[in-house]
Structure 1
Amino acid sequence: ERDKMTDKNNEIVKKIEKNGNRVSNSRLSSHACVHFEISFDRISLVGDLVESEELAFSSFISNSIYFNIFDLHASQIKGQSVDNVVYFEYDKFKGKAHERRNMRVEFNPNNLDQNLRKIIRDEFVSRMKNTGFSRLDLAFDCFENIKDYYVLSDAALKKTIIYGRNGEPETKYFGSRDSDRYIRIYNKKQEIKDNKDLEIEAEDYWRIEFELKRERTEKWATCFEDLNFLKPDYKTIDDFNLRSK
């Protein structure tokens, strides 16, 4: 059983460290191929702390220079890394009462240095069983303008569009926040300018985000499968009113 747990946890670690792949998606356009930088933007990892590891984990956390601790009891520990990029919570009795896994670790793998990566692998994942993801956020970044692309889905999707001050689409939402998959397409360059007052050099910078929850996290590799992103050729539409839609 210990070997099975190790194999499972090794798969988890590989997913955590899988970032920065360049891909192209031919379904994105009928006219051109847009290239994306893909990364996991947020990971919520859950599992059960192995009972025999409880004391060792508590000892590590209480003496670690990398974490600030909010609660520290024999069966309840809560805290976050000193740089606020990793949050964790362990509660044995709460997990048992709600019939759910008792350990949760949340982080953005893009913000982890080598020390924190090693700590998550050696001090968290290796001490857990029944490991899995409760949430995965995937980010598809591209340096092309995709605001005019039209999204077609093989399944029914609720759509909301937010327009900027110039009257052009700035953010598009697909699905609902409570569903297993929530999609957001937005002008990342504008977001950086608004939130950080920084102007990046690239002419265009857009992001497609997939927020996956529950069972959908196990199918993250196919999150794009039922979607088509098409850029209409408006010149072929003679009716002005139809073209403006």
Structure 2
Amino acid sequence: MIVVVIVICLTLTVDQQKTARLQAHTSSIERLSTYKHGIASWWGYACMASLMIPPSDLFIAAGTKNDMAWLRNSQLMMGVATTILVIYFSLAFMPAIHCSFKPKTRLSYWKALHSYYFLFPVSKQERHWWVLLSLTAGICEEIFFRGFLLQFIHGQSHASWYLDLNLALVLSALVFGICHYYQGISGIVRTTVGGLLFGLLTILTNSLWLPILLHVLVDLAVLLIYKPQQDSPEAAKRLMAGCEPESVRSDILT
């Protein structure tokens, strides 16, 4: 329980303070600092999780074949769940695939990304660090939220209590969403839904490896959609030198 509280408190305080500063004024130096802080923090959280549950157990799904019987014992529900997962991840990758084949369409996607100009990488160095951040998020967040937290809430890693796996899945997804509250209410909702589906994928495959791979790829997809140095050089210069993120919105979208 202490590990869970520590991670949530740090995310809701230290991380929020750094994010708030970045939202008010962003620059290459500040973004790089945020990336490095995120990488160090999440590897630390993942290491704490591995101290609570043996690493071999972190990479398998919580529960037994008797948990979520409504899903595991029904071919129909398995088919529905699989279809939902395929649709969700297809939609998640569609913008990046579209931009890869038609680079001119990138700007059309940026309208939906304006809230993240403060965070997304601009310079070559930032983009290299974004790769490391994406790998860290994919590996460490899945280890913590789907490997450790799901099992912890379910009660599989201890004898203190037992909660139904369905409820454990919902609660772990909700914590995942809350830890992304810097994205606003809509971001919390999106990441909570994502947490539910990543958790469901973990349970269906009885492994963290596919969720980790897809999580990494979802974060890396930003690099295919967001290329301000190519598409809006003047805005890129301001974002690297330092500015209010919203001040470049009109430059990028014109």
Instruction: Report TM bin, short chain.
Output: under 0.3
TM-score between both structures, scaled by the size of structure 2: 0.23
The structure with the greater share of residues assigned to strand is 1
- The structure whose Rg is larger is 1
**RCO higher in structure (CA 8 A, sep ≥6):** 2
